[in-house]
Amino acid sequence: MKPFISSSDFPLLEQPVNGKRLVYLDSTATSLKPKVVLEAMDNYYRHVGANVHRGVYSLSSQATDLYEMARVSVARLISAAQPESLVFTRNTTEGINLVAYAWGLKNLLPDDEIVVSELEHHSNLVPWHLVAGYRGAKVKAIRMTTDGQLDLEHYASLLQSGKVKMVAIAHVSNALGTIHPIQKIVQMAHQAGALCLVDGAQSVPHLQVDVQDIGADFYAFSGHKMLAPTGIGVLYGKLEVLKAMPPFLGGGDMIDQVFPDHSSYAEPPMRFEAGTPAIAEAIGLGAAAEYLMDLGMARVQAHEQALTVYALEQLDQFEGVTTYGTRGANRSAVIAFNLENVHPHDVATFLDAEGICVRAGHHCAQPAMRALGVQSTARASFGIYNTKEDVDALVESLKHCIKFFQ
Ligand SMILES: Cc1ncc(COP(=O)(O)O)c(C=O)c1O
C-alpha cells in the first residue's frame, strides 16, 4: 500500500510529538491541513484583505470573487447543481441549528414528529430537542443494531404515524463509521411526506457525495474535517426549500430593504449569511475542495478503507480487544475499540506518549454508547495522509499498552 499523498503536503506531519513521529489518527475529530489551504488563506490576508459583497474598489471585488469561487468549488465537490444552494456556516452544528430554527420554528406544529437515530452526534439531536420543545413537537429515534446499523424496519414503523415532518440522519456515523443507506432513508422520508436533513460531517471528507443523487433537502458539513480551516462549514439546501425559509440570523448582508420598523430579505444563500463571513476560511475551504477533487474522492475512500481493513485484521488477532461497528463495505475509516480492563482515556494517554493521537470518550454520541452498553471507547480514524506504517505503529503501541496495564 503506497502512501497516497506526499507527507510534505501537510506541515504538521513534519513536527514530532513527544519526541516521536506524529501518527495522527483522529481525523474524525478534525483533519490536518495541506499547504495549499494554508497558502490560500495567507494569500487572502497578505494580498487582498478586503470585505466581501460591499465595496466597488478592486480589492473588495477580488475578495468577493475569491469567496464566491470557493462556493463554486464546494458545489462541484458535492455535485450541487447551483452554487447558490450552498450557505456558508461556521460548521455542521450551525448548519443543523439553522434548519432547526429557521425551518422548524416556522413549520413544526404541536404533536408533529422529528425522526433522528440513536447513532447521531449530539449536534444532530440537541437542536431538534430545543426546537421541538418550543413547538410542542416530539423527537423519535430509529434504533441501532448491535453492529451499528440503523434498524430500517423500525424506521418504517416510525414513519407510519403520519406525523413525521423532518427526518434528520447522519450519512456516516462518527462513533462507529457506519455508512448508512442514505438514498433509501431520504426516499422513505419523502414518501412519508417529511423533509430530510443529512448530517454530512463524516461523509463529505471521505466519500464521493452527490447531493442530487442523494436527494436530501438539506446536507450539512464542516470545513475543518475536510482539510479546511475551522470556523467554516456548509449547509446545502434545495433552492426551493431554502427560498421558502425565513432567515436564521439577522444583520448586514442578508437584507433586501430595511426600514426602521421592518425589513425584507435577500434571496438564498445571502439570506442566511448575516454579517461579515469567515472570508479567509471560506477561501481555504475552496482550496481544500479543489485538493480533494484533484485526488479523486473514489480514491480517497479506497485508500482509507484499505487502511481500515488492514487495521481491523491486526486488531482481530489481539486477545482482550473489542472493536465495534459493522464489518461490511458500508464502513468508513473509523475504528472504535476498547481494551479489556483499561479505560479508553488511559489508552489514549499511553498512545500519546508514543506520538499517536486517538480520541477517547463518548464521541458526542451518548445515546449510541448506551445502545452499545459502554460508557466510552477509544477511536482511531484515518485520513488521506495516513499510511500502513501508521497502522503498524498503532498496533505495536497497543501491544505495549496491554502489557503495561496487565
Ligand atoms: C457526524 C457528526 N456530526 C456533527 C458533528 C459536529 O461537527 P462540528 O463540531 O464541526 O459542528 C460531528 C463532529 O465530530 C460529527 O462527527
Record the cell numbers describing residue 307, joined without a space.
487502511
Distance of CA 326 to the CA centre of its chain: 20
d(CA 89, CA 269): 10
**DSSP 8-state symbol, 178:** B
Give me the pLDDT at residue 54, please. Answer: 81
Q: What is the pLDDT of residues 29-50, one digit of tens each?
A: 999 999 999 999 999 999 999 9
- The average pLDDT across 59-82 equals 97
Atom from ligand 1 closest to the CA of residue 123: 4
Band (2; pLDDT cuts 50, 70, 90): low
Q: What is the pLDDT of residues 125-159, one digit of tens each?
A: 999 999 999 999 999 999 999 899 999 999 999 99
Residue 399 Cα to ligand 1 middle (Å): 31
Give me the pLDDT at residue 328, please. Answer: 87
- The average pLDDT across 88-98 equals 98
What strand order describes the sheet that includes 321-324?
Answer: 321-324, 334-339, 377-381, 359-361
d(CA 320, CA 328): 22
For domain 38-294, is the CATH number 3.40.1370.10?
A: no
- The average pLDDT across 338-347 equals 95
Give me the pLDDT at residue 5, please. Answer: 85
Report the candidate in 247, 125, 243, 237 with the shortest Cα–Cα distance to residue 174.
125
Give the residue, out of 90, 92, 179, with the most ligand 1 atoms within 8 A of its beta carbon, to mutate for a pocket test.
92
* Residues forming beta bridges with residue 116, ordered by sequence position: 141
Q: What is the pLDDT of residues 10-24, one digit of tens each?
A: 999 999 999 999 999
The domain defined by 7-31+297-405 folds into Aspartate Aminotransferase, domain 1 (3.90.1150)
Does the beta carbon of 90 lie inside 6 Å of ligand 1? no
| Region(s) of the chain under CATH 3.40.640.10 | 38-294
Instruction: Output the residue whose Cα is nearest ligand 1's atom 16.
Output: 174
Averaged pLDDT of the chain = 96
Give me the pLDDT at residue 1, please. Answer: 64
| Region(s) of the chain under CATH 3.90.1150.10 | 7-31+297-405
DSSP secondary structure of 97-109: HHIIIIIHHHH--
Active-site residue list: 364
Residue 236 Cα to ligand 1 middle (Å): 16
Residue type, 35: K
Does the beta carbon of 31 lie inside 6 Å of ligand 1? no
Give the residue, out of 94, 121, 204, 366, with the most ligand 1 atoms within 8 A of its beta carbon, to mutate for a pocket test.
121
Does the beta carbon of 381 lie inside 6 Å of ligand 1? no
H helical segments located in 104-210: 104-107, 126-135, 152-159, 182-191
Band (96; pLDDT cuts 50, 70, 90): very high
Give me the pLDDT at residue 406, please. Answer: 83
* Residues forming beta bridges with residue 17, ordered by sequence position: 20
Does the beta carbon of 202 lie inside 6 Å of ligand 1? yes
Q: What is the pLDDT of residues 213-226, one digit of tens each?
A: 999 999 999 999 99
Task: Report CA torsion sign: 34, 38, 41, 43.
Answer: negative
Q: What is the pLDDT of residues 276-319, one digit of tens each?
A: 999 999 999 999 999 999 999 999 999 999 999 999 999 999 88
Q: Which positions ≥6 away from 288 have C-beta within 8 Å?
A: 33, 34, 36, 37, 223, 226, 227, 228
